[in-house]
Amino acid sequence: MQIKFFTCFIYLLLCTFIYAQDSTTQKHPLFKLSGISTMGGGSRNNLNYINGNKNQTYTSKQMLLSMWPAFANKPFYNYTQWTGNYNSSTNSTMFGVYLSFDNYSKKKNRYAIHSQTNVGITVITLNSYYAMYGNINATRLDTLYQKQGSNYYPTAYYDNVTLNSANVSYKSTNVGIDVQQLFSTNEKKLISVFAGIGFTTNFSVLSQISYEQYQQTGINLTANSVNSYQIDGNYNLTNKTDSIKDGGVVKIKNSVLYQLYIPFGFNVRLGKNDKKTISHFYLTTQARLGFQVLKILDVNAFVYTTRYITFGAKYKF
């Protein structure tokens, strides 16, 4: 209910913003619809802070327990973690449809050709690989010896190895509003460049944790004793058998995603003759550098640095 109310509030606010009138002349809307565009791309995000603390102060088990209490009941909860505290990066994909508005200049008494406001509906998907856990059980089957003088020394071991592993990941799909204020060179040229500032607010329509537990068994020949096995070791198993012991998808609490970023890039116009339809089309490349805050309701707030690369097309009326 709160999310629906807030979404309606944002919609009404944007409508008021878009159709606001110049109070002095009452003749020109402050914003005039000038085009429509689509844009899509991806990002690699680095996790910096969790609830204001550096990410190194949290383990993946603490994070997962806060989002998924049943994690403590899974067998792999007591496994050894393979990769540090947890992976501190996520992959994001985004797709958006935008309306472009020219900004009216009171000083020049006309619509500016070097600035525009983009308002769009975006879908952002976050894929976060949190951690992998595992344990190893090895049973000695045979030992090979080499004779040196009158003594025999072990040179190789045959072990029956069972490797249990599990990986856990977080995913959310978020829908919301993206607003950009851009300043550009003359878009009537074949190539124009732009930069500005942008802000996104998205609400999750799907938040989930996926997990899979594997088991691998086989025979391993090694020069090391059984006590030297490491969780993240490399093994050359023969007579190998792989199996999935458990897996599933768990829905968790909804989230809100905020982004504050600096967009910059360039447009390529497909023609110079305004009378031809093709000249109203543009190809666009946009980079976004900024910050992203993922707030999982009643749980944690995760702060990322983001680096989006997006591509799209635009039609200018």
pLDDT at 51: 66
First to last CA, the chain: 38
- The identity of residue 146, as a single letter, is Q
Per-residue exposure over 255-284, b if at least 16 CB sit within 10 Å of its own CB, e if not:
bbbbbebebbbbbebeeeeeeeeebebbeb
pLDDT at 54: 64
Q: How many helices (H) and strands (E) does the chain have?
A: 2, 11
- The identity of residue 253, as a single letter, is K
Longest dimension (CA), the chain: 109
Q: State the 10-residue block means of pLDDT for the chain, 317 residues long.
A: 52 51 57 93 81 61 79 84 57 94 82 89 86 80 86 85 84 95 93 97 92 86 62 63 83 91 97 90 97 83 89 95
Asked if 260 and 76 touch (Cβ cutoff 8 Å), the reply is: no
pLDDT at 280: 94
pLDDT at 161: 84
pLDDT in tens, 299-311: 778 888 899 999 9
Q: Is the CA virtual torsion 117, 119, 125, 129 positive or negative?
A: positive
pLDDT at 129: 63
Please give the DSSP secondary-structure letter assigned to residue 20. Answer: P
The rounded distance, in Å, linking the Cα atoms of 229 and 61 is 24
pLDDT in tens, 253-280: 889 999 999 999 999 999 988 889 999 9
Q: Which residue do the tokens 């844009």 mark? A: 39
SS3 61: helix
The rounded distance, in Å, linking the Cα atoms of 195 and 288 is 10
pLDDT in tens, 52-62: 666 555 566 77
Q: Which residue do the tokens 């807030």 mark? A: 6
